[in-house]
Amino acid sequence: MRAFHTPLTIIETLAKSHGDAAAVRCLLPESLTEYKTITYAGYCNDVDNAAKAWLFGLSQAGITKGAVVGIWMRGWSYQDLLHYLSLQRAGFIPQLFSLCMTNPAVVYELLGKSNVAALIYDASCESPVRDCPLPVFPCDVALHGAALQDVELDKATTALNGDQVSVIIHTSGSTSGMPKLVPATPIYCLMGSHAHLGNTINLAEALANAGCFIAPNSIPYPTSELQSMITHGGLTTLDIFPALLSVFIREARTDAVLLEQLRSLHHIFHAGQILEPSDQAWAHQQGIKLVNTYGSTEIGLSMRASATSQYLTPFPESGFEFLPLCGNSSSSEQFVELVIPADADDCPHPSLRDKADGKFHTGDLFQRVGEDQYLYKGRVDDRIKMQLSLVCDAGSLEAEAMQVCEADLISAVSVIGSGRPSPALIVEPKHDDVLTTGGDGLTMFKEEILRRISPFHARKYLHERIDNPRLVFVVPQGTLPRTEKGNIMRKAVENMFFDELEKSFVAISST
Q: Which CATH number fits domain 384-509: 3.30.300.30, 1.10.3720.10, 1.25.40.10, 1.10.10.10?
A: 3.30.300.30
The arrangement of secondary structure in 7-202, i.e. its CATH architecture, is 3-Layer(aba) Sandwich (3.40)
pTM comes to 0.77
The stretches in the chain having pLDDT less than 50 are: 142-146, 187-199, 327-332
CB 110 within 8 A of CB 168: no
Among residues 137, 136, 203, the alpha carbon closest in space to that of 167 is found at 203
Give the N- to C-terminal CA distance of the chain in Å, as an integer.
60
Residue 323: beta bridge partners? 337
- Residue 2: is it exposed, middle or buried by C-beta count within 10 angstroms (0-12/13-18/19+)? exposed
Check for a shared fold between 7-202 and 384-509: no
CATH 2.30.38.10 assigned to 310-379: yes
Tens digits of residue pLDDT in 334-371 = 688 999 999 888 888 888 899 989 999 988 889 899 88
Domain range summary for the chain, segments of one domain joined by +: 7-202, 216-288, 310-379, 384-509
E strand residue ranges, 197-328: 213-214, 237-240, 267-270, 290-296, 300-306, 309-314, 321-324
Tens digits of residue pLDDT in 282-337 = 999 999 999 999 888 788 788 999 878 889 999 877 788 999 875 444 444 568 89
Tens digits of residue pLDDT in 446-483 = 999 999 999 999 989 899 999 999 999 999 999 999 87
Sequence-distant (6+) residues with CB within 8 A of 145 are none
| Residue 321 φ/ψ, nearest 5 degrees | -125, 140
